[in-house]
Chains A and B, each alone.
Chain A
């Protein structure tokens, strides 16, 4: 399920907070109830600190916890919590919007890790699992055409009209789609180099440190030392 421990995409997509509902009483964690983003105690409340720390969370409280925590407590044998509702982007209303026309939804703003987070969510147990999964798949298939069209046209920085309309369109792509876009464009940039006879130039090698896969894809096409 997870790619690897240091994968930035995984880290970002699993730290989103999701509402869950506790099924049992949990002692000593009462302070979690009042916090949603920060868990720091004020100076005024320090007197009550001892009491607060040792109060317990009753069952049926709703909490917002990050996904990686929920994965551990919702799936183990003794289930501490269940998932009453999904994050907004996967709800029934949104799913209907996706079914109508998926390519107009601005995923970059609403859920920059839509697909990855969806896949993580599908590891948990909840109703409507199949509908969410089908929505993910169909949304990807619908948006694929516009990704392909955008990536097979090279975006030249000198051409401003084209640039603006392209930017508007690609601004709606979320992270996974953007990666795909850059792969397609890198391939076309390579072909352009061939047409312009740049492949036979000798270039000095570029000194790179540790780079991610994405920059390797982009840089692989640009600087090559050729010996003839």
Chain B
């Protein structure tokens, strides 16, 4: 899966919006999106939310995991643990970017959250690099890593696959005596 596909899939997650128009229920293939009433919050998929926002028909409600405090809490937990911490959503990094590009004014402390997210990203990337380095150096057969987001997996997939293939080939060539 490339980044494009991951981004596409990430937009299927649900988010709360507050519409400012009235519309009966819309029936989509995946399910229906409930009747739109002005000033009544409801859950819609993010792609629909972006579309509505860009045509000035709704206002975003900040999701719980994107508030300043929860992001700070995530960062603190990540700094304490050596392994990866579970993320509230498998697409945190992509979604935070997408939401902030479209609806920055709806998120309180948007800029600070952006900085925190960047710190979180750098921290996780550094952990990834050291664990891959250890894997290659020790020549172990496999390593178990949990709680990685899709974006990070996408980044390292090709690289890790090819390098482990090389190591396996070289290990096979060692004759047993």
Which A residues are closer than 8 A to B by beta carbons?
115, 118-119, 122, 129-130, 133-134, 136-137, 140-142, 144-145, 147-149, 151-152, 176, 179-180, 183-184, 186-188, 190-191, 193-195, 197, 199, 217, 220-221, 224, 226
Contact = CB atoms under 8 A, between A and B. Distances in A.
B162 A187 contact: no
A142 B133 CA distance: 10
A148 B133 contact: yes
B163 A220 contact: no
29 contacts: A119-B170, A122-B175, A133-B170, A133-B174, A133-B175, A141-B137, A141-B139, A141-B167, A142-B137, A144-B137, A148-B129, A148-B132, A152-B125, A152-B129, A176-B166, A180-B159, A180-B162, A187-B156, A187-B157, A190-B3, A191-B3, A191-B151, A191-B154, A194-B7, A194-B94, A194-B151, A197-B101, A221-B3, A224-B4
Interface string B124-157: 0100010011001101000000000001001111
A74 to B, nearest CB: 16
B7 A199 contact: yes
A137 B2 contact: no
Closest 10 CB pairs of A and B: A133-B174, A144-B136, A184-B159, A190-B3, A137-B170, A183-B158, A187-B155, A122-B173, A194-B3, A183-B159
A186 B161 CA distance: 14
